[in-house]
Amino acid sequence: MGDPETIKEVVAETLVEASTTFRKDQVLAYEKAAEKENNANARWVLERLLENAKVAEESRKPLCNDTGIPHLYLEIGEEVTIHGKFLEMVKEGVRIGLQRLP
């Protein structure tokens, strides 16, 4: 099943990372859209999204689009058995991760 402390820490750090960063492809898409955007207001919004992403990643604070409600998707193999203790460790990791975010 794995070391309980490792599972909790991986879940906590994953939650913080997901709350404070965009994927690289998202950043590239926003940058490309901002470059091509002709509407000044729309370009301004895209530029603010990019600015917010930079600040959020550097300060490890949530992105402005973060609702504060984590949604988890666990990918497991077909022949893997999950025990209740594993799910409890995941929940504890989420709790720890949320406490790390301002």
- For residue 4, what are the CA distances in angstroms to 61, 87, 91, 97? 26, 10, 12, 15
pLDDT (tens, 9 = 90+) of the chain, 102 residues, equals 578 899 999 999 999 998 899 999 999 999 999 999 999 999 999 999 999 999 998 998 888 766 668 888 888 888 888 888 999 999 999 999 999 987
The two tokens of residue 73 are 């998707």
* pTM tops 0.95, yes or no: no
pLDDT of amino acid 1: 58
d(CA 11, CA 1): 14
